[in-house]
Structure 1
Amino acid sequence: MLEERYGNPFLIAKAFRDKIDSWPKINPKGSVELQELADFLRSCESAMSQIRGLEVLNDCNENQKILSKLPDWLTSRWNRKVIEIEEETHMFPSFSQFVKFLTREAKIACSPITSLHALKPTERVLEKGSKIRSPGAKVFATSSDGQAVPTNCIFCDKVGHSLQRCRRFMQKTILERVKFVQVRKLCFGCLKSGHRSKDCGERNTCDTCEKGHPTCLHDDRTKEERMSTKPYGSRCSDKPKEKEIEQPQEQANPPSNEATTNRVVQNTVNTHTSTIIPVWLSSVSEPNREVLVYALLDTQSDTTFVLEEAVKALHTKSAPV
């Protein structure tokens, strides 16, 4: 089964050809990259004797596809070689002849003594430092006068506007927009990557409420609506504001399998709040019996838990849910 599924000659030939098709274009000074391509084509040449599907690489059209990956100066040299071979044999050079030519050119380009690769090591270091970005990567370019150059929108992949001005993005619901920003790991203050919103020094100003967030992330819902739709484990942007525990309203028939989250808020502008505080715990059946416990306030949790010994101290009944 393994031989049939993964050792199929057609699949192997397709894997070789797909890798050639997806090979990135080589920089005019990319000596190492040229050598890597030559090494891979030599492996294709070796496999050609066992996999007949690779014989298509001898075709001139396939050779033209590989030439599109090479620098212009190297393409010109191969063009001269092709003319010489055609004048002698009246046939287009074979894939083996092309690999032999490319291997020699890569050897010349990577000579440890006399090549530009060896004579200009500083350019080689800069070349290593510049990473090739994938087609999905989005960057903000800057012109010489310091002004930002319009780039592709990371949502609709169109040029001429940013994510904040994207109409298709604004047509989504606020939950979908927030989810997109979370998945892309963007800052909720400026919609850029690389930092969190609490560390953002370039917060946008909302055109609707004039607060420190992009207009496209403005949320008209009330706090209760946001809390009711907040997914498990998501972050809540509401900061604690009042140093007292809000008591939940009593219901006529409270469900037995529902937990209540108590939130601590604070009226003052001071941002120093406690995450562990002492509270008196009691049950509905015996409200006069109270137990002093420490409460851990976790703003990223949507469920309340209690220790088993605290339940026993309250003399109340419990059931696993």
Structure 2
Amino acid sequence: MLIKWLGPISTKYAESTKNSNMTDPARGVRLLWERLDRCYGTPEEIEASLLQRLNEFKPITWDEPRRYYDLVDLLSEIESLQNNERYRTQLAVFNTSSGVTPVARRLLPRAIYEKWMSRATNYKSKHNVIFPPFSIFVTFIKDTCVMRNDPSFTHEPCKNTSNTNSGKQKQSKPKLSVKKTSVVNVDQKTLDACPVHLTNHSLNECRTFRNKPINVRRKFLKENNICFGCCKSKDHYKQNCSLKTECSECKSKDHPTALHIQFKPADSDGKLEHSNTKLSVQDGERNSKDHKVTADAKCTAVCGQNF
């Protein structure tokens, strides 16, 4: 029977003791119990085992009242060993705040822990002691277990889905779905499709992208390592771009169509204004400065062939 329920190490010793005491089984059982008591029954081993079980015990949440039964069993085992003269001195730490307070604070929900604080304080004041004995804490956990598992207070109220005032069921409103155009990151080297819509038009042809503020467009190109000179590739920068294209809006070769800036109507002084981010010619992908660009529209004549 002992060999069946012992652990692997103890079972090995039990079989050895059995083989050496075949003619005297009673002596073999006595020797086995003495060995087990020396290995696992000393006060130090008992204390270490109890502390390990307390440390491995997970905190009790408010919706787990059944776990109070497990905690009561463990604490009752400690209380029973405290009544044994052999283990009383080793387990005396549980009669102090250093033995009980860390356990109560870690394992109990805050509301239950505050109730324990109130009961312990009242006990100290009434009996003029430094800290309540461990048996008081065990009794408190038993009372809490009974209270939290009382069937009279564990029923959940039924949810009332009807409108009691009008007696009519509310009609559910139709759900509205809104589609959002979002900008996604681009992984491919050449941009065969629009990185905004992932369709078969280019970034220079994307009206959604061109309608965004210039600083938003430049930020997108920078984050996705897209060339500022052509807006068609991400394997080079503007200064070494050989795919530079002409802007279809203003016929300028200084920027692609995707970075065209739409000027506002002329004000009372005859000036066109827009506020955007101007990109450095040498390193547009990495250096930028915010300033206001002003275009004078007083002269409307075509000046030269390079216009």
Specify the TM-score bucket, using the shorter chain as the normaliser.
0.3 to 0.5
Length-normalised TM-score, structure 1: 0.35
Length-normalised TM-score, structure 2: 0.37
When Rg is computed on C-alpha atoms for both structures, the one with the higher figure is 2
